[in-house]
Amino acid sequence: MNTRIAKAVLVAAAVSAAAVFPASAADPEPQAEISSDCRAVVVKRASDKEAITVPVLDRCGNPVVGPPKIRRLGFVKGDLVATYGKHCWATISMKTLEVVCSGCD
């Protein structure tokens, strides 16, 4: 009898979880990678047919300290943050692909 109750609880939990988090409502996350020359970011969004190259260092310029290449990418609140040089970063809007050179510390 205990196994029947446990199965009923599992089925009820699965049904309520499916109602709260439908799989079809979630948009696929954009994909981003550093270009081969390490000066740009290649972004592929769900709305784009092909990947788009965003020239980060061409817009922000070379850093004063550190090598002129992108070291790290990360998503923060829906935007893409590219770290370059030693302590510089730029924010790329995923909606418009606008590059904001946030500065260096």
- 93 in any annotated domain: yes
pLDDT above 70: percentage of residues in the chain: 74
For strands 88-92 and 99-104, give the pairing. antiparallel
pTM for this structure? Answer: 0.71
In this model, does residue 24 exceed pLDDT 60? no
Identify whether the C-beta of residue 75 lies closer than 8 Å to the C-beta of residue 91. no
DSSP, res 51: -
- 56 in any annotated domain: yes
18: confidence class by pLDDT, cuts 50, 70, 90: very low
- 85 in any annotated domain: yes
In this model, does residue 13 exceed pLDDT 70? no
Q: What is the pLDDT at residue 10? A: 39
List the alpha helices (DSSP H) in 21-103. 56-60
Q: How many Cβ atoms sit within 10 Å of the Cβ of residue 89?
A: 23
Higher per-residue confidence, 1 vs 74:
74
- Report in angstroms the alpha-carbon separations of 26 from 20, 29, 77: 12, 9, 16
Domain total in the chain? 1
